[in-house]
Amino acid sequence: MLDRYAIKIVRMPLAALSSILDSTGLTANQITVAGFAIGLLSLPALILEQYLWALGFILINRIFDGLDGALARRQGITDCGGFLDITLDFLFYSLVPFGFVLANPEANAVAGAFLIFSFIGTGSSFLSFAVMASKRDIENPVYRQKSLYYIGGLTEGTETIVCLVLFCLFPYHFDIIAWVYGSLCWITTATRIWAGYQTLKS
């Protein structure tokens, strides 16, 4: 829901940083993998309940996720880069609630499982429609420079980042935040299934 507005805010600084990275010879795929590797460090930080460290790794991961796209648009968008980016994104999104579950299974296990279950709904509806949209050459007018069709919803990337940040700032309320955000994810999944089906049917 907020991605279209967030993109306008971060576009210029990301473009400037990507220009510097491009001059070093780094590729977008290298930035994707590096960002994911840094994001993986949030797992041990969460297990050890070092929530501010985890927050730092999460934010760096998300910055790298923006940088790889900006660099790809400069160097040329590729299918393999888009595949790598979206796959590692979904793995990272699920890694964070998993870390909270491992940190405190008794308090967080059910809420964490529900949130990951919800991510399956948003992720599968997103990717399934993207595949069908590609077959029919359907383009999203808002995200024309993306390698995949980005079908919108109540919970997109920006909202997910906010959710992950809230987890780290208020770790002892993880269960409440997870239940609320997971429920919002299911609203997104339902609307995507309905909109996607109607679009493809027509």
What are the chain's domains?
3-201 (1.20.120.1760)
The DSSP result for 139-168, as a single string, is --SS-TTSSS-----SS-HHHHHHHHHHHH
Q: Confidence band (pLDDT; 50, 70, 90) for 141?
A: low
pTM of the model: 0.89
Question: Mean pLDDT over residues 191-202, rounded?
Answer: 89
HSE-CB of 194 using CA atoms within 13 angstroms:
7
The whole-angstrom separation of Cα 155 and Cα 195 is: 15
pLDDT in tens, 77-135: 888 998 999 999 999 999 999 999 999 999 999 999 999 999 999 999 999 988 888 88
Instruction: Give CA separation, 23 vs 26, 46, 78, in Å.
Output: 8, 35, 19
- Cα distance between residue 153 and residue 147, in whole Å: 18
pLDDT (tens digit, 9 = 90+) per residue, 147-190?
A: 666 777 889 989 999 999 999 999 999 999 999 999 999 999 99
Residue 80 CB-density burial (10 A; 0-12 exposed, 13-18 middle, 19+ buried): exposed
